């Protein structure tokens, strides 16, 4: 009997759940690979991911941080009421010791562009890092310009 000697498939019985840390790492990897649409879909499905935005900005890979900016460009258009959920996590990063993290947080707050986001940007015009301060000033100048045009 040939079938008796063939190995039987192993049943997978583990139903392991993915931790938040693992999911955050996967999201960062997807952003680095340019799969922003996948992350847009995730944010649309689960609003708690907005709370992770600030942590994603601390990733040292530039492509991940760029992906966050692109992500929020989409989300501002598709979910304008939900993007405000990211403001607390971004505001937290405005205190980061790394100037590039502060600058990225200012940039995403500028993309969000709501009044409460711009209040946070305004606090950064006096940042000790001249580039962060300049980004904050540029965002506020553009926001003022757009407001006066309307």
Percent of the chain residues past pLDDT 90, beyond the cut: 83
Number of domains in the chain: 1
Q: For residue 106, what are the domain limits?
A: 20-149
Residue 3: which pLDDT band, with cuts at 50, 70 and 90? very low
Q: Which domain CATH number covers 133?
A: 1.25.40
End-to-end CA distance of the chain: 82
Is the separation of the CB atoms in 90 and 108 below 8 Å? yes
Average pLDDT of 68-90? 97
Determine, yes or no, domain membership for 4.
no
For residue 89, pLDDT beyond 50: yes
Model confidence pTM above 0.75 = yes
Q: Does residue 38 lie in a domain region?
A: yes
In a domain, 61, yes or no: yes
Q: 57 to each of 4, 61, 71, 121, 124, how far by Cα in Å? A: 55, 9, 12, 16, 17
Considering the domain boundaries, does residue 9 fall inside one? no
- The answer to whether position 8 is within a domain reads no
């Amino acid at each position: 009997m040939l079938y008796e000697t063939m190995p039987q498939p192993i049943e997978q019985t583990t139903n392991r759940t993915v931790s938040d840390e693992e999911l955050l790492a996967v999201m960062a990897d997807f952003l680095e690979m340019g799969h922003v649409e996948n992350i847009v879909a995730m944010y649309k499905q689960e609003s708690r991911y907005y709370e992770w935005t600030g942590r994603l900005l601390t990733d040292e890979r530039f492509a991940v941080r760029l992906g966050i900016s692109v992500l929020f460009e989409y989300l501002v258009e598709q979910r304008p009421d939900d993007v405000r959920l990211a403001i607390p996590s971004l505001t937290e990063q405005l205190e980061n010791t790394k100037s590039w993290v502060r600058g990225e947080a200012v940039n995403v707050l500028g993309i969000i562009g709501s009044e409460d986001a711009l209040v946070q940007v305004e606090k950064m015009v006096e940042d000790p890092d001249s580039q962060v301060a300049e980004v904050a000033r540029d965002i506020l100048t553009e926001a003022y310009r757009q407001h006066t045009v309307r």
